[in-house]
């Protein structure tokens, strides 16, 4: 059986393309690696794979197999089909979230804007040139995760990596990103609970379990106007997942701000403490806050501990 390379549950473009690109690289080196996914892909990822003519990886089978985790390390974000003792390596750009293993494993974590950036660096280090398709999806992973370099998570390495990748991929970055963000923002036929779930991550800190969903978009109004449905979906998810708190942010990519949904008094208190802001009708506008990784999660954890 091959070693599977796999991203997180409720995956995003960065996690899926990182898995595909690393498998491609290992195959070039003669190793039996296959990409897999933990859950169905979203519309942005669908657009990216179609654009570059690549197949969607299969959902990881529920059996003993060796795995490489990309773009995640928190236990709550790992596919339930993975046995923790089969994890060989982690390649990620998120904070460490408390995973315990019984054996030593390789870990490559860098605070850059995307896992795709780290994977592009491994290609260089190994002296392997990515194909045009692989260079294209890695560029897409970087542009998606950094919101075209506007997110505070953006690192110099991300911009360097795109320059090198685009010598091979030859995409029109500006036109491509417009299409990418349009696909990201597409809510046609989606229910509000699906929007809340689509880019949702679970965390544990200070003995509390909480979740943060984000919806990055260039068209926030059609989502925000469904305030009641969103709050209902959050309350249901909080109960189903036995969480202490749940949050949901509609991230306006163009305005560089978020509208934060807090379904209960406990959540509202945490957000007003974290951002010294007023909550009205379970909503607050957070200017300049767009990153769950670098802003929301640490700010919320800090508010929890004080």
User: Which residues within the stretch 119-148 sit at the binding site for Mn ion (CB under 5 A)?
Assistant: 145
Q: Are 109 and 73 in contact (CB under 8 A)?
A: yes
d(CA 269, CA 27): 50
By beta-carbon proximity to Mn ion, the closer residue of 8 and 238 is 8
By beta-carbon proximity to Mn ion, the closer residue of 18 and 284 is 18
Piece of the chain touching Mn ion by CB under 5 A; list 71-79, 80-88, 213-221, 223-231: 71-79
- On the 0-12 / 13-18 / 19+ scale of CB atoms within 10 A, 160 is middle
Please state the closest distance from residue 18 (CB atom) to Mn ion, in A.
Answer: 7
HSE-up of 149 (CA within 13 Å, CB side)? 12
Which one of residues 14, 26, 158, 252 is an interface residue with Mn ion (CB under 5 A)? 14
By beta-carbon proximity to Mn ion, the closer residue of 142 and 286 is 142
By beta-carbon proximity to Mn ion, the closer residue of 14 and 267 is 14
Please state the closest distance from residue 93 (CB atom) to Mn ion, in A.
Answer: 6
d(CA 244, CA 240): 11
DSSP designation for 162:
H
Separation in Å, CA 299 to CA 144, 147, 287, 290: 23, 20, 14, 12
List the x/- string, 146-185, binding to Mn ion by CB under 5 A. Answer: ----------------------------------------
d(CA 244, CA 261): 15
Q: Is 252 in the site for Mn ion (CB under 5 A)?
A: no
Please state the closest distance from residue 94 (CB atom) to Mn ion, in A.
Answer: 7
By beta-carbon proximity to Mn ion, the closer residue of 34 and 145 is 145
Size of the site for Mn ion (CB under 5 A): 4
Piece of the chain touching Mn ion by CB under 5 A; list 31-39, 66-74, 213-221, 242-250: 66-74
Q: Is 199 in the site for Mn ion (CB under 5 A)?
A: no
List the x/- string, 86-125, binding to Mn ion by CB under 5 A. Answer: -----------------------------x----------
Give the tokens for residue 222. 């059609």
By beta-carbon proximity to Mn ion, the closer residue of 202 and 263 is 202
Q: Is 44 in the site for Mn ion (CB under 5 A)?
A: no
- The full DSSP string for 51-118 is HTT-PPPEEPPSS---EEEES---GGGS-TTS-GGGEEEEEESS-------SS--EEEE--SS-HHHH
Q: Which residue's Cβ lies closest to Mn ion?
A: 14
d(CA 270, CA 296): 11
d(CA 292, CA 12): 13
Please state the closest distance from residue 38 (CB atom) to Mn ion, in A.
Answer: 14
Please state the closest distance from residue 235 (CB atom) to Mn ion, in A.
Answer: 28
Q: Is 71 in the site for Mn ion (CB under 5 A)?
A: yes
Q: Side by side, which strands form the sheet with 200-205?
A: 200-205, 208-217, 245-252, 257-261, 283-287
Residues that bind Mn ion (CB under 5 A): 14, 71, 115, 145
């Amino acid at each position: 059986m091959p070693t599977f390379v796999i991203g997180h549950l409720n995956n995003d473009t960065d996690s899926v393309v990182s898995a595909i690109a690393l498998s491609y690289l290992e195959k070039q080196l003669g190793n039996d690696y296959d990409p897999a996914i933990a859950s169905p892909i979203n519309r942005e990822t669908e657009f990216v794979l179609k654009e570059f003519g690549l197949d969607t990886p299969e959902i990881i089978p529920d059996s003993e197999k060796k795995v490489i985790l990309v773009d995640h390390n928190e236990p709550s974000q790992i596919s339930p089909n993975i046995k923790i003792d089969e994890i060989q390596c982690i390649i990620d750009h998120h904070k460490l979230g408390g995973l315990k293993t019984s054996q030593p494993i390789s870990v490559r974590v860098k605070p850059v804007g995307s896992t795709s950036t780290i994977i592009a660096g491994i290609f260089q280090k190994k002296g392997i040139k990515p194909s045009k398709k692989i260079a294209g999806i890695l560029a897409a992973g970087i542009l998606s995760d950094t919101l075209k370099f506007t997110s505070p998570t953006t690192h110099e390495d991300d911009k360097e990596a795109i320059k090198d990748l685009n010598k091979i991929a030859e995409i029109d970055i500006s036109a491509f990103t417009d299409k990418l963000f349009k696909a990201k923002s597409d809510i046609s036929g989606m229910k509000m609970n699906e929007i809340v779930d689509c880019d949702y991550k679970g965390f544990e800190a200070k003995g509390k379990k909480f979740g943060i969903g984000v919806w990055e978009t260039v068209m926030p109004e059609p989502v925000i106007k469904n305030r009641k449905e969103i709050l209902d979906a959050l309350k249901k998810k909080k109960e189903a997942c036995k969480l202490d708190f749940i949050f949901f942010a509609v991230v306006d990519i163009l305005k560089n701000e978020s509208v934060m949904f807090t379904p209960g008094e406990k959540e509202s208190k945490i957000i007003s403490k974290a951002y010294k802001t007023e909550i009205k009708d379970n909503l607050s506008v957070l200017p300049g806050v767009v990153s769950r990784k670098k802003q929301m999660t640490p700010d919320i954890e800090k508010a929890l501990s004080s």
